[in-house]
Structure 1
Amino acid sequence: MPFFMIERRYAEEFEANADEADQVRRINDEEGVRWLYSFLSADKRKTYCLYEAPSPDAVRRAAARAGLPVDVVTEVAGQVTPDGTLVAF
């Protein structure tokens, strides 16, 4: 299944909440999307999230249902480690 990096911009500082994260995971499960992890920008107004999903549309549907913004969806093919190794997904 493909992997996607999702960039989200928030109008206000993002605040993590376990109940909301659980709701997002439930919606993702229904859409066939798996949230792997997220990075939060220093100003707490952007997140960069790695997802495994069948398509960009599935990611967008899940986000819309969860009330989350989706500004950029980029399919990623692998990871480059500091030693120069390319790890394909």
Structure 2
Amino acid sequence: MPYFIIERNYAENVPVPFEAAPDINLINDEEDVRWVFSFLSVDHRKSYCLYEADSKEAILAAAARNGVPADVITEVEGRLMPSGLLASVT
């Protein structure tokens, strides 16, 4: 299944811990997408999330149902390591 990086921009700070995570994961399961992990900016107003999904459309559907932004969605193939090697995404 393909992997995607999602850039999300928030109007307000994202709370940590992110208490909505269990509910988001339930909806993601229904849309057949999997949230792998996220990075949160220092100001808590932007996140970069790694997702596994069949398509961008599935990610957009899950984001809409979850009420979270999905401003930029980029399919990724692997991780470029400091050694110069390409490794698997996870």
The one-letter amino acid of 2:43's match is D
% identical equivalent positions: 54
Q: Distance in 2 between matches of 1:2 and 1:88?
A: 11
Aligned length: 89
What do residues 21-53 of structure 1 show as CA deviations (whole Å, max 9, x unaligned)?
Answer: 000000000000000000001111000000000
Corresponding residue SS for 1:47: strand
Q: State the Cα RMSD in Å.
A: 1.2
TM-score if structure 1 supplies the norm length?
0.93
* Aligned position for 2:77: 77
Structure 2's unaligned 5+ residue stretches are none
Structure 1's unaligned 5+ residue stretches are none
> Are 1:23 and 2:20 matched, yes or no?
no
Matches within 5 A, 1:1-89: 1-17=1-17, 19-89=19-89
Q: Distance in 2 between matches of 1:49 and 1:40?
A: 9
TM-score if structure 2 supplies the norm length?
0.92
